[in-house]
Amino acid sequence: MRLIGVATQYRAGEGPMARRFLGLLEPYLEALRSQGLAYVLLPPQPQEALERILPHLDGLLLPGGGDVDPALYGEEPHPRLGEVSPERDAHEVFLARHAAERGLPTLGVCRGVQAMNVALGGTLYQDLEAQGLGRVQHHQKSPPPALGHGVRLVGESPLRGLFPERFRVNSYHHQGLKALGRGLRPAALAPDGLVEAVVLEGHPLFLGVQWHPELLPEHWPLFGLLQAPHG
């Protein structure tokens, strides 16, 4: 059984002593279990500690969450920028770079694909509507399992073994990929041209998607791609 490291999400704690909670929303774990994968949570910690842990992993999952700090790609914050966490950003950027360099199978979801892009030198739209991409509703108001806009596959990618050329996705983001990072290429596009999925050329599996497959059981085979062998 392959072991997948999962970067933790942040949640506000409760009570007078609580500052924050490092954990993971249950649908991610359900999706991993459905594909026969074991998992271990990876909270932020010193890089020396992560370097001891990462060689024992068979894959990596970067989940959704809040906004990525635009300082990481050389921009000033937009008025519509949400809350950022420099600690989480540094953690996930390190994990993504390590995975890209070492050939570790990696899946990024929503914020996860954004962190992957920034880790490889890419940039983000800080707010899609405010920056000219308001034709498609990327921040869907209907809860799952409702689907939002469509996407179209482009180029060769592992998505082609799982989805038809065009299909609909759920969509709960106000940021998005702008300039792609080094070696990344589009794997799916929204009707307004926004990149909805990327892959890294020459990597066993470095795949990021902008939608939330963990909330759609019919999309859980995406997590099964983490079974991919690596160097």
| Residues 86, 206 contacting (CB under 8 angstroms) | no
Residue among 91, 138, 173, 214 flagged as catalytic:
214
Among this protein's residues, is 98 annotated catalytic? no
Work out the angle between the directed axes of helices 86-102 and 111-119 (0-180°, nearest 10): 70
8 Å CB contact between 204 and 225: no
214 given a catalytic annotation: yes
Contact 152, 163 (CB under 8 A): no
Q: Exposed e or buried b for every residue in 108-121, given b needs 16+ CB within 10 A? A: bbbbbbbbbbbbbe
Catalytic site residue from 110, 138, 203, 219: 110
CB-CB contact of 199 with 187 (8 Å): yes
- Contact present, 21 and 207 (Cβ < 8 Å): no
Name the helix (H) or strand (E) containing 177.
Answer: strand 176-177
Q: How many angstroms separate the CA atoms of 112 and 90, rounded? A: 13
- Is 56 among the residues known to form the active site? no
Q: Which two tokens stand for residue 100?
A: 């890209």
Residue appearing with tokens 């540094």: 90
Q: Is 41 helix (H, G, I), strand (E, B) or coil?
A: strand
**Which residue in the list 91, 98, 212, 219 is annotated as catalytic?**
212
What positions carry a catalytic annotation?
A: 110, 212, 214
